[in-house]
Amino acid sequence: MTRPSRHVVLTGVIVLVSILWYVMWVVTGLGSVAVGYVFMPLATGVAVFAARALRRETPQDPIGRRFWRALEIGCLLVTVGFAFLAGAAVLSAPILPDMPLAGAVFAGSGLLTAIWAVARVPLGVQSRQERIRQWLDRTIAFLGCVAVLWHFGLLPMVTSGEQWTPAGLIILILAFAFAAGAVTKVSYIVGGPVDRIAVRAVASMGLAVGANALLDGKYGYNGILPGQTLFLPMVALTVSVAAYRQRRAAARPPRRRANVWLPYLAVLAVDVPLADVLFRPPGADGIPEGRIVVLTAAAVTGLVLARQFLVNRDNVRLLREREASEARLQYEATHDALTGLGNRVLFKQRLENVLADGPATVLLVDLDDFNTVNDSLGHDVGDELLIAFADTLRIATGDDGEPARLAGDEFAVLVTTPGQDRAVAERIMTAIAAPISAHRLLVHASAGIASAPAGTPASHLLRDADAAMYTAKQRGKANWVRYAAGMEKPAQAHAQLGGDLRRALDAGEFKLVYQPIVHLRTGRVVGVEALVRWFHPERGMVSPIDFIPAAERTGLIVPLGRWVLRETCRQAAEWLAEFGPDVLEKAAPNVSVRQLHDPDFVDDVRAALADSGLPAGRLVLELTESAVLRGHQVLRVLHEVHDMGVRLALDDFGTGESSLSLLRAFPAAIVKLDKSFVDNIELDEQGSAPANARQAVARAVAQLADALGLDTVAEGIENQEQADRLLKLGYTVGQGYHLGRPVTAAELTARLAAQQHSLPAAA
């Protein structure tokens, strides 16, 4: 049994004995009347210890501590006050005593302390409106309580003709105030540091005192003794019970809802004395005092009106807020947050509406190479570009249609002016001929136009427009195409491809082939480039030209590229183990820019090296210029890989917008001269202008690389003349069908073995 419950039992016993004693005294008349006055201070004395034990033994936050300390002091003061009364009773027995002034002061300040304690318990109210409403509610409840207590309790008592000492009267009034205030307050405590049941138990203390007063008033002098023995000790019991509740409350979460019915109850409560005043036969005492009840009732009515007004205003506000938020939700559900254009949902709705009544024309616009912008310049720049493009689209569309953003970089216009589809498309193309967005980006877009008669499903029309747009992209982008029958076939095949890739990766349909990178003078294989192939179960071998773009668009290039990287490292380590360090210097997989944006890329490279055991210096990553161009994040990744000892090669060098500054910022070790400069390079040395230009570029690249300390590889060598010419221009290493086609690992193993035998002492 916990200690507070021991206090509860003890106070309970005192209360019981007190009642028994009173019954015995009434029946037998034996013993001194003074005994009846001893129970109250005894019981409140125990309550002091109950409060103290709780405070000492149960950890509480400051507010809880303050409450229980105040209560402890209040009980102590009450105990002392009633001890004075008991003393007076002993002295005056058998005549009943009056409360001595000192006793009244102690008991009165004890009650005040208790009032203060309850008053300071926080309510946990948040908003201003709520606080105001609660004050109104509490005032209403308070007035209700006061009206009842006054009319049926205090008033008869004061007017009963009994001789009340001022001290007794003060205690009585305090007890009333305490009761009314506490009841109205505790109804609003929803939880917090002081247990709500505990506060209620304490508040009921006021009720006990009030009941006592009622008894006194009703029975006059005869009621005093039963009050002392039957009711007052219960005051102490409530405190003990409260302390017990508080201890147990520590383990339980608080309830959340405040009282809502109390004000209504209070309004009803005022009606009772009101009715009493109305129907009491007009007598000497009834009418003048009735004024107070009537006034209270009027005040309550006014307060209820005010409260109703506030609640109404709140409701109106809430309603308005809800309407606004519904409108906002509706807007958000149908609009794109970034550009403010309608979204796919809205567009489809609108399209369906139009198609229900007549024909419709749709223009689908897709930014070309938007992912490259996003990847190389960052998502913020990408977002700004989309916003700028949306504005462009709005202006270009004008009153001839409704633009929308369907997804990512995919936009649409529902053309509403018949015959204006072509004009809209051309206005869009013209508008983006100049750079747009704050970053002055030059973008291209491909568009597809499709029309359909009334009753066509919206999805069919969109599919046609999509096929037309895909065709526009196939025809070299930056253009628009009107849908014609049959256009959907390649688009479908393309869409299917994306889905197929994932399955293919899981099914292990990808294989690597290796193209030798060869020393031009000796013909020795110095390295290999790893090239991926897809062995499709139905379509046979698929070229990377056909699926790498799809893999990049769908993001599948990340897992695919990771596999290529690991497989290349594994194979290269195997060759290293088989042929020793002098045979194959490097193995080079291709890496897409999307992979460089993958946060795991650096870790992937490290793991591929660690797991295969391939030294970092034997791995070369081939990157295209456009991939490494710009983008701080990409540069940081490349530097990290470079710091690992891995070499980086600039692929297709000379085709992009490469610059000297790029070569300096980018930790490249190798440049690969693009095949387009090698094609026809062997042709007539004097006459052909293009051939001369190619030679000039090839020579410049070789000299530049030499100056910067970079190695070179000439790509796409298809005959010996080209090899000779490149040698003359300063290239020592080359790659091409003439030097070796991409072959399987086994075939390359055979070539390496043959080379090892024929050139045993290769330099």
Residues in touch with ligand C2E (CB under 6 A): 515, 531-532, 543-545, 548, 561, 564, 589-590, 592, 622, 651-652, 716-718, 735-737, 742
Q: How far is the CB of 510 from ligand C2E (least distance, A)?
A: 9
Q: How far is the CB of 581 from ligand C2E (least distance, A)?
A: 25
Q: How far is the CB of 650 from ligand C2E (least distance, A)?
A: 11
Of 3 and 511, the one with the shorter C-beta distance to ligand C2E is 511
Token pair for 75:
């009980």
Of 103 and 736, the one with the shorter C-beta distance to ligand C2E is 736
Q: How far is the CB of 614 from ligand C2E (least distance, A)?
A: 17
Task: List the one residue out of 702, 736, 731, 743 whose CA is nearest residue 720.
Answer: 736
Q: How far is the CB of 595 from ligand C2E (least distance, A)?
A: 7
Of 464 and 598, the one with the shorter C-beta distance to ligand C2E is 598
Q: Any contact of residue 590 with Ca ion (CB under 5 A)?
A: yes
93 neighbors 35 (Cβ within 8 angstroms): no
Of 269 and 584, the one with the shorter C-beta distance to ligand C2E is 584
Of 712 and 735, the one with the shorter C-beta distance to ligand C2E is 735
* Binding site partner of 227, from Ca ion, ligand C2E, none, Cβ cut-off 5-8 A by kind: none
Which helix (H) or strand (E) segment is 586 a member of? strand 586-589
Of 227 and 561, the one with the shorter C-beta distance to ligand C2E is 561
Task: Considering only CA atoms, give the Rg of the chain.
Answer: 47
* Binding site partner of 716, from Ca ion, ligand C2E, none, Cβ cut-off 5-8 A by kind: ligand C2E
Q: How far is the CB of 533 from ligand C2E (least distance, A)?
A: 8
| Angstrom distance (rounded) from CA 518 to CA 527 | 7
DSSP 229: I
What three-state secondary structure class fits 613?
Answer: coil
CA 111 to chain centroid, in Å, comes to: 50
Q: Half-sphere exposure of residue 663, counting CA atoms within 13 Å on the CB side? A: 22
Choices 314-322, 486-494, 541-549, 585-593 (CB under 5 A): range interacting with Ca ion: 585-593
* Binding site partner of 718, from ligand C2E, Ca ion, none, Cβ cut-off 5-8 A by kind: ligand C2E
| Angstrom distance (rounded) from CA 567 to CA 580 | 19
* Binding site partner of 561, from ligand C2E, Ca ion, none, Cβ cut-off 5-8 A by kind: ligand C2E
Residues 6+ apart with CB under 8 A from 581: none
| Angstrom distance (rounded) from CA 608 to CA 561 | 12
Residues 6+ apart with CB under 8 A from 26: none
Which residue in the shown chain puts its C-beta closest to ligand C2E? Answer: 736
Which pairs count as long-range contacts for 66-71, CB under 8 Å and 24+ apart, including other chains? 66/117, 66/120, 67/117, 67/118, 67/120, 67/121, 67/193, 67/194, 68/243, 68/246, 70/113, 70/114, 70/116, 70/117, 70/120, 71/113, 71/114, 71/117, 71/202, 71/239, 71/242
Which residue in the shown chain puts its C-beta closest to Ca ion? Answer: 622
Distances (CA, A) of 67 to 28, 73, 252, 683, 726: 43, 10, 19, 102, 95
Token pair for 152:
């049926």
Binding mask 79-98 for Ca ion (x = CB under 5 A): --------------------
Q: How far is the CB of 532 from ligand C2E (least distance, A)?
A: 4
Which helix (H) or strand (E) segment is 210 a member of? helix 196-219
* Binding site partner of 592, from Ca ion, ligand C2E, none, Cβ cut-off 5-8 A by kind: ligand C2E
Of 45 and 589, the one with the shorter C-beta distance to ligand C2E is 589
Q: How far is the CB of 495 from ligand C2E (least distance, A)?
A: 21
Choices 41-49, 250-258, 279-287, 588-596 (CB under 5 A): range interacting with Ca ion: 588-596
Q: How far is the CB of 715 from Ca ion (least distance, A)?
A: 5
* Binding site partner of 625, from Ca ion, ligand C2E, none, Cβ cut-off 5-8 A by kind: none
Q: Give residues 616-635 in contact with Ca ion (rule: CB under 5 A).
A: 622
Q: How far is the CB of 547 from ligand C2E (least distance, A)?
A: 9
Of 309 and 737, the one with the shorter C-beta distance to ligand C2E is 737
Residues 6+ apart with CB under 8 A from 283: none
Of 346 and 518, the one with the shorter C-beta distance to ligand C2E is 518
Of 22 and 677, the one with the shorter C-beta distance to Ca ion is 677
Q: How far is the CB of 629 from Ca ion (least distance, A)?
A: 16
**DSSP code per residue over 145-183:** HHHHHIIIIIHHHHHS-----HHHHHHHHHHHHHHHHHH
555 sits in the region (left: phi over 0; alpha: psi -120 to 50; else beta) called left
Q: Using CA atoms in the order 628, 632, 633, 639, what is the torsion angle rounded to 10 degrees? A: 70
- Positions that interact with Ca ion (CB under 5 A): 590, 622, 651-652
